[in-house]
Structure 1
């Protein structure tokens, strides 16, 4: 794109991290401690401080992109059970954050914004595989009610800004993201980091490793370092307002049991390992097509799942003392 020939300043809301030195751009990784983006004045101060020309706004992915690129913000995010418990909080706070980021980007004449959606925005009842045309064809799954509706409105808002002002605001829809620098909090994390931490503690304390649910649901997972590369491609090459799914193919779905098995192997856990079938599974599957991505980008080599998981587990074990692990129960306390 021609505007990238000039100096650009890319603001990544809420994160901190490293971008390869070969990228000749100035990257700003603003931490959530610099301002609560639910507050419009805080958003304005952040933009005034850094004067970004481009913004990567990734609500709800957490700090996942440590080595290549950290892409995050301080929106409200959590796993399945928090999503079901705090529907209004997830809806209201994420709506405020997204509105403030986009409106401030418009007011400060930001050239391009990429916001992050999630596959949970898609309807609960829809023909698979999911693709970019099916976002608004019905209500989302009840377990993601608040968060999903807030994220859907980002797509609606992007089109409204473009139609009224010509703004280049677009979005991406990654599938389940994991990798080094993730949020490994036992209460607030997503499935892979949460299970990694749980298995690590089970090995350390000599306690059982229990996985919530049956292990049967299927998911597509994308390594955070692969996703970082795709976001850089999208920033440079993708000019549509419609979102694009960033994911491995739908033929690469993995069951939660396969995930747990891989974690047991990566952590070297040899104790009692079981599934708590009294706990909710959530949506059984929601396969997403990456046909549009591959049509636009051409060949792209995704990191094999087992390799990505082993690298993530190794990073977590080696960096446990400084990883985001939240409140950890003592060995004799229930989880």
Structure 2
């Protein structure tokens, strides 16, 4: 690898892809490539093949996916399964056929069984059944992990999969209908701040979750770019978790909301705990840097500075 190596970041405008772009650029990589979905439809196998034949990237980072929350997964199971399979399979296969030696595949902790022991280890993959609410997305991502493992095993190429825990940060999705818990809380507390109106949150607040700032994931990708990792699959997380109640109180404090938090215990809590074991990657030299409070401050500052743009996107 050199600073002039041609690196293609699929999904470069999303939360993860844009963070990876920033991290690589900040570390002197000068030859970064990205294509919008209108410029390159990653679901189109021929278009992806033609792109690789024309551009011949040295490294591919796959941060492209169809993503969404529980509602979107339940309403569009076929699209979540098929479109994610198409995107990743076209990229992996074209990369392999063009004799590319380094491919970094990004997934999610949802690939692990719903009732796997805590913290989640890489060895737990395919040992039990998945969480039904997002199994379509999870099955696609598992297929991508196994495809990269197969290429690594059969051809000796440096194809590696990184599985982050719950991500948040700049460019997150703050739409209350489709966002995840942390950005949704930021928006709820912010909108209730002026009147200090009560904020209603789902569940009891007792489940525990782990949260990783997207810039920490970007540093893990940079680490994988600059090193040949010895195994095919690595978890990426902070190694610590908090209750949803602690998360809410942290966000409330950062936002400056002084009203009450009302917990709707009639709503489901979900899995009691979900923590990743990231010791394998940490042992190689990577580590997370953001504390939860520091990350929430950074994300809230980004949200407030982009609020008008965000509202326009929601209305379009």
Aligned to 1:224: 214
Aligned to 1:333: none
1:11 equivalent to 2:8? Answer: yes
Conservation of the 8 A alpha-carbon contact between 1:198 and 1:209: yes
1:304 equivalent to 2:274? Answer: no
Conservation of the 8 A alpha-carbon contact between 2:199 and 2:262: yes
Partner SS, residue 10 of structure 2: strand
Aligned to 1:31: 36
1:94 equivalent to 2:91? Answer: no
Conservation of the 8 A alpha-carbon contact between 1:38 and 1:93: yes
| Cα root mean square deviation, aligned | 2.3
Q: How many pairs were matched up?
A: 307
After TM superposition, the structure 1 stretch with the greater mean CA deviation from structure 2, 75-84 or 201-210, is 201-210
Aligned to 1:261: 249
TM-score (normalizing by structure 1):
0.83
- Structure 2 Cα separation of the partners of residues 206 and 325 of structure 1: 25
1:117 equivalent to 2:107? Answer: yes
Conservation of the 8 A alpha-carbon contact between 1:132 and 1:243: yes
Aligned to 1:69: none
Q: Deviations over 1:208-237 (max 9, x none)?
A: 422222222211111111111111001111
Aligned to 2:69: 79
TM-score (normalizing by structure 2):
0.88
Conservation of the 8 A alpha-carbon contact between 2:236 and 2:276: no
Greater fraction helix: 2
- Structure 1 Cα separation of the partners of residues 27 and 225 of structure 2: 16
1:1-335 matches, within 5 Å, as 4-5=1-2, 7-16=4-13, 17=18, 18=22, 19-48=24-53, 50-58=55-63, 73=64, 75-203=65-193, 208-249=198-239, 252-297=240-285, 300=287, 302-323=289-310, 326-327=313-314
Q: Structure 1's 135 and 104: CA in aligned 2 closer, same or farther, altered over 3 A? A: same
Conservation of the 8 A alpha-carbon contact between 1:181 and 1:323: no
Gaps of 5+ in 1: 59-72, 329-335
Conservation of the 8 A alpha-carbon contact between 2:105 and 2:161: yes
Partner SS, residue 37 of structure 1: coil
Q: Deviations over 1:171-201 (max 9, x none)?
A: 0011111111222222222221122123223
- Structure 2 Cα separation of the partners of residues 272 and 136 of structure 1: 42
